[in-house]
Amino acid sequence: MELQPAPINHGIVFRRVDLLDGPVEVPAHVDNVVDDRLGTTIGNAAGVRVATIEHLMAALSGCGIDNATVEIHGPEVPVMDGSAAPFVFLIECAGILPQSAPRRLIEVIRPVSVGSDSVSADLLPGSGFSVGLSIDFDSPAIGQQAFRLRLANGAFKSELSRSRTFGFAHEVEHLRKAGLARGGSLDNAVVVSGDQILNEDGLRYDDECVRHKVLDCVGDLYLAGGQVLGHFEGCRSGHATNHEILRKLFADQRNWRYRTADADELAGARLERVYA
């Protein structure tokens, strides 16, 4: 995979270059989501897909990258270590180029909600971009966790980007029979078994699981086609719910509007933890 610069108003576009008929581009937008099992997969009508894009999308959002072409040899973004940190590192090594146009934000102007009593998500008007999320698992190793952050000059890199995807040991065989998680290992995921974390080095944060769910949410919400300006509040929400709330936002033009960023919002390319 290679990240390439792109012109103003290009957005984030994935470009498959391994196909016999030549390169095919798939814009990173919620309208192009074709699968949300275990991760976010985008595709086109011809069946060309790119899977597991959420960690890279979170890194692009956290680094304030509005325009880029993701040239990829294969059907899936490299998993790396299961977090967004390697992508952030590579983006920082390459450097970021300011462009001669204001950032276009997607402002939430009316509340929208999806879900049920057990799984829900809300997008609310708000200054800046903030995310609140709670999870609840039967496993004693995870249990109930909550995390909240806001878009500001802050600690995306140190507080959020290193959190890894997680899964349960008893689910591995079932997932692999379904053709999923074939590359999963202790090198690129937190693996939970009952009340134990099987990774030799343990967790990177005590609440790494909920932090990673927030990271996923940041990546999924960047499928709006730009930075969301508003507050996301989720309860046990995952990829499907994150996509659903965006679709509901865009279903009614009265719910949102485009606007350009002011100076404070332009500075907010990183995520700052508010409280957990």
Would you name the residues annotated as active-site residues? 239
- The H helix count followed by the E strand count for the chain is 6, 18
Q: At what angle do helices 54-62 and 208-221 cross, to 10 degrees?
A: 80
Strand 120-124, strand 271-275: pairing? unpaired
Q: Are strands 228-235 and 104-108 parallel, antiparallel or unpaired?
A: parallel
Report CA Rg, the chain.
Answer: 18
End-to-end CA distance of the chain: 34
d(CA 171, CA 220): 24
Distance CA 236, CA 231 (A): 16
Rounded to whole angstroms, what are the CA distances from 100 to 9, 103, 121, 269?
11, 10, 35, 17
